[in-house]
Amino acid sequence: MKFATCLNCMDGRVQLPVIYWIKENYAADYVDMIAEPGMDGILAGENHKDIESILKKIDISLKRPNLHLNIIFVAGHHDCLGNPVDDETHKRQIYIAAEKLKNLRPSVKIVGLWVSDEWKVEKITEK
């Protein structure tokens, strides 16, 4: 049994495509989903109070040392109401979020995911 952690938007349209993609491409059995509206924007932003809460949730997910793949996924998506910016800004925020998370949790692999307007998932960065 292997777990991964995903930081994703709360938008229900992106949950299953992201979970299926992670399970298929990283052999995860389960994905701990930490969801906030506009997650990529929150992580790329300057409000450290929001990030502290997310980090606590990440640490809970990572408490399975022998069962966790040691990977955190950060997902952003097209048509996000919680972070209403254009697709290129979302992708830039995913890169920034991945870099921040890598600095905060250096022993964990960070993978940035983009969900297109067709609900297809693609990897856009890996740290």
Give the H/E segment covering residue 46.
none
Domain extent listing, the chain: 3-126
Q: Which two tokens stand for residue 56?
A: 């606590």
Confidence of residue 121 (pLDDT cuts 50, 70, 90): very high
The per-residue pLDDT for 46 is 76
Give 52-105 pLDDT, tens digit per residue.
999 999 999 999 878 999 999 999 999 999 999 999 999 999 999 999 999 999
Pairing of strands 3-8, 68-77: parallel
In tens, the pLDDT along 12-57 reads: 999 999 999 999 999 999 999 999 999 999 999 977 777 999 999 9
Q: Which two tokens stand for residue 101?
A: 């998370």
- φ, ψ of residue 92 to 5 degrees: the values are -65, -40
CATH architecture of 3-126: 3-Layer(aba) Sandwich (3.40)
Angstrom distance (rounded) from CA 5 to CA 74: 9
